[in-house]
Amino acid sequence: MDDESLPSRADQRRADKAREDALARLASDLVRLGPKSLARLEVPEPVLDALEDARAISSPRARERQLRVVRSMLRDADWPKLRAALDSLLKHGEVKHEVGRERAREWVVRLVGGGAAALEELLARHPNADRTHLRQLIRGAMQTSEARRRRAEDKLADALASLLGRA
């Protein structure tokens, strides 16, 4: 195996940070939902219990610690599926299980964290994709502003869902 195919430590750190940021946003979004919405999302029972505990905590520091517990539980769950279901619930008012959307959310995190190597992997699987457009969307999803990043990630997820749906 040649050394060029191995990710560098910086690439690995960037990928880990992108995944953790996505998990942190998911945990934060889930804790804001009510019990009925969480039931519609079919959140796993241990995660649901941790979310209820986080909602009951009033101290900001203690709540942040509990959200880290939620994040660790989400790592073991099918979190891209949960993120896609949450997006569907927030956007349409109902949960639509779309496999393409779930795969698109996984790819968003991979592309933001994986850099050029992840983009090359996607383009190898889907050679008809527009490299320049995807690169611009990825760059936008790496913004520091939370609102801009969220919109850019949604646009990237839409483009990827369209691309993956055509394949």
pLDDT in the model for residue 140: 86
Q: Is pLDDT of 122 > 80?
A: yes
Grade residue 115 by pLDDT with cuts at 50, 70 and 90: confident
Report pLDDT digits (tens) over 17-70: 888 888 898 999 999 998 888 888 888 899 999 999 999 999 999 999 999 999
Q: Is pLDDT of 101 > 90?
A: no
Grade residue 1 by pLDDT with cuts at 50, 70 and 90: very low
Average pLDDT over residues 70-87: 87
Report pLDDT digits (tens) over 133-149: 999 998 888 876 778 88
Grade residue 97 by pLDDT with cuts at 50, 70 and 90: low
* Residue 19: C-alpha distances to residues 36, 72, 109, 133 (Å): 27, 12, 6, 22
CA atoms of 137 and 166, how far apart (whole Å):
19
Taking each helix axis as running N to C, give the angle between helix 146-166 and helix 99-125, from 0 to 180 degrees, rounded to the nearest 10.
Answer: 80
CA atoms of 70 and 75, how far apart (whole Å):
9
* Angle at 24 (CA atoms; ends 49, 9), nearest 5 degrees: 130
CA atoms of 16 and 22, how far apart (whole Å):
10
